[in-house]
Chains A and B, each alone.
Chain A
């Protein structure tokens, strides 16, 4: 019934030790075969239904992960369609990369609730559940749309609108000339258009690049740096970034606001927030910073707690540590370049006395560190990576998927622009350009949640003077 093949991540990524990418549709097996290398050779296509296969997923000559694939042929699957499930080691990064590989191999990213919809339409879900199926579809779409728009920054929204506006103007010009050739001429226009499309292409390519690094909508592991004032939090951030970004002074409480930076740590994307030092304060401005830190903590996937190893731990440290008991925490004993007052053993002993840290004390992740001398940096990177691949930390799945949707739309828009430019280069007639340009316009509209409706006709009439 459905000819296209869809794919999505079927597991909740948060903390799961396993990630599942599900592919469903006529070409599910064929597509899976493009990315999956079965151990001992052979293809899934040759295999019986309801079998499990060990192997690995590859893209562009690079192995992404070792996986198990589950093959279920129609109609004996959740959707009643040919289905392949790829079980990987979990974690957002790997699961997402596998999904992307599957999409590149020809699957389409599933709409929210689409597996459920297909399962129902194909008779796999009981009639009595129809209403909840409908609710799920509506709710998931709602959420997806909200996420999509909420996660876009104002600047990005503006940029996409601008590119769309420019495209629409060109389409409208072509169309008005086709409609009224005696009033509007296209002589010499293809060259002009090609230049303008070159600009649009650059802009979209740039957006696509930032979507690849997750910058488009703040994807990445929400990492928060906390600690008392003047323990070296900003210096840590600078060390991570390798640039002077936060204000670093000797005066306690200089980071009045929070700073956010994205960085790529060996392929793992971190969204790092440096907070004002948390402590009781009477200073109103600083108080806001402290409140905000607490708020950031609430959304954090990973917390890096910075302590000053050259001083004694005090009540402030213990109060802050109480706030962190429920989080994934890495403890940095900073200022190891100075004579050590608090050692790793001291810290562990102090923590073990905190009632809320009871369960954590066996598995403390502690690193002796010097932001000034950059020592301990490699160990920090390794620790983050280990935690990530162990599935201990991960970023928000919704954001990840939203970003993937945007990325797909951007890359489709880019291909359409390229096709239009190719048509110009090939000397195709002008009416062919607007077919591709309209496709690009539509795709970009999907990112910002705008349908096409009567945009073109309105643009034609408002911008170009037609005859009669």
Chain B
């Protein structure tokens, strides 16, 4: 098909027309126009593209392989400690991950059930192939969303695009050469990097095709200049032997973006038929399965589950590893990227924790369509002969056959301090990014960033305020704030300890915290919104009822207390006081609470938690109040720190580098002292008064 040589791209208005007109072939290459272009179709890219398309924007998602949409190249699970929180939050905001895993899991467990509600975390084993296919199906069935297999090699700003068009029209190139400083925001010129931002205009693929767009979301995962290492063997591919993306880095660097190099790794996959499970401990899923998504009916997910298996390394394993350390690319110094400390390779574990004589290893099914078993806890980049030797020292793996080798992978990512909390680049308007590209790790961390980046790309196009969750609202807020505010020296992983208000940010109340936000954004239906409002009301009603209920020291009461090993009453107490006893809870006290109305289980759960941990929750809410005050003090865009006297030099440098949006964010930057914050407050007050 051939299109008119007269481009519809000459005017911006042209981009708004219908799809058919939006394609043209000029000088042998293709041109198309979309609202949003998402680069990469992993967990971040899928959420970004779905969010933008669901908000009604014409969206194109690029992937090096359509078969690898929502691929899980490492562990076969979704959720886990703090990651389960992220999935719940994604769901409450209208993202897809929770729904997708509910459709494709093969085992599910609520972790930390014996501990406090703040650290309960859902984790499911996924059928990897189903997960990927189901997500692909969702993408395919989403209106306004186009899937394209192509490697994006360049980002183009308005100036870049103008130059291309001029070259094409044989105009003198020099005349319109971009003023470099406005593109790169070079501080040395004294120009304000924020006010002179470049504007994204398009992406170009290796084939030369140009896709014009108003916003770009980069979710390149581990594919940028990726290389995989198994001992001495190095292949220049992405995960699973997929094609790497080798060109985009250069384009980003030429636009003044600072790149980092990170690494991560994955264990071998072993043929289940070669494993002797009788020598391992079976790990079953929960009896009653709790779904991830608030929209999933729990009764629909009570499936027959598949088991995982536990075994251990031993001294022999460790000896083999130690004897072959010189052949490990990390210890031989071949790997330059920084790896994550929280999922160390088995080599690292043996070296760093030399006093441990065994490590737990979990064999986890990769799905029901495959024989492959993931060897959790044993990622490695040792050569394949050593891998065979070491895996076979484990009880049950004596005759193990490796289907896929373990490997380490190195990739380019960015220093995320170049992003705003909206996940937009400070230097380039309309350029957003999410996922491992931002220096994080993990499917869930990626997905939630993709969701926020996609939403904010849309918000910008709509001329609406960006969606920024703060540290007191969501783990997502903590994660993004950490990424853009703190120094990031390794792939960032979510942990509950990173959330200072974790008692408030529970996985059980993600809907109460975020559904309204999702509704305002436009990704949550009115019905869902109304349901959450109703739930809130019911919780309030029940709390105020309980506040008035007193329990006397009657026979029935004492008998019930005794049954639960609780100390009998001397005198009447409030019902709340009894709920707070560790051995009791809201449900257990039902028989002695005759006035109790019928309420749904999820309402009862909230009531129980809010009463039981009232003291701590109130304390954290007070801390949040203080926190919010500083968050609300916004630092104007383009604020000139050089004009503030009395700032210490280190603070000034850091503030100029990070450009925090609020006093609160500024106070979290390492090297900025409380006195510097006071000075900033005084200076801002001075500015304000001058303007009055």
**Chain A residues at the B interface, C-beta cutoff of 8 Å:** 3, 111-114, 117, 120-121, 123, 127, 130-131, 133-135, 137-138, 140-142, 171, 175, 178-183, 186, 426-432, 434-435, 451, 453-454, 456-457, 460-462, 465-468
Contacts and interface: CB of A to CB of B under 8 A. Distances in A.
9 contacts: A111-B678, A130-B682, A130-B686, A134-B679, A135-B645, A181-B115, A427-B582, A429-B116, A435-B503
Contact of A141 (B356, B359, B673): B673
Interface string B639-665: 000001111100000000000000000
Interface in B673-687: 673-676, 678-679, 681-683, 685-686
Contacts of B81: 178-181
B148 to A, nearest CB: 33
B515 interface: no
B349 interface: yes
A183 B360 contact: yes
A179 B495 contact: yes
B675 to A, nearest CB: 4
How many chain B residues sit at the interface, stated as a range, is 35 or more
> Looking at B118, B349, B497, B644, which has the most chain A CB atoms within 10 Å of its CB?
B497
Given A117-B681, A180-B81, A467-B376, A137 B646 contact: yes
Chain A interface SS verdict (over half): helix
Chain B interface SS verdict (over half): loop
A441 B600 CA distance: 41
A362 B116 CA distance: 74
A134 B583 CA distance: 55
Interface of B: 75, 81-82, 111-112, 114-116, 118-119, 341-344, 349, 352-353, 356, 359-360, 362, 376-377, 379, 486, 495-498, 502-503, 582-583, 613, 616, 625, 644-648, 670, 673-676, 678-679, 681-683, 685-686, 689-690
Contact of A431 (B115, B352, B353, B678): B115
Contact of B674 (A131, A141, A429): A141
Nearest to A126: B689
Contacts of A453: 670
B511 to A, nearest CB: 21
A468 B685 contact: no
A465 B349 CA distance: 7
Contact of A468 (B352, B379, B686, B689): B379
B352 A465 contact: yes
Given A134-B683, A456-B497, A428 B582 contact: yes
Contact of B645 (A134, A171, A180): A134
Nearest to A465: B353
Contacts of A178: 81, 112, 115, 119, 496-497
A468 B648 contact: no
Given A429-B116, A435-B616, A127 B686 contact: yes
Contact of A137 (B343, B679, B685): B679
B116 A138 contact: no
Contacts of A127: 686, 689-690
Contacts of B689: 123, 127
Contacts of A134: 644-646, 679, 682-683
Contacts of B497: 171, 175, 178-179, 434, 456-457, 460
Closest 6 CB pairs of A and B: A141-B675, A429-B116, A427-B582, A468-B343, A461-B341, A134-B646
Contacts of B673: 141
B496 A431 contact: yes
A466 B644 CA distance: 45
Nearest to A123: B689
Contacts of B349: 465
A121 B663 CA distance: 14
Contacts of A183: 360, 377
A137 B342 contact: no
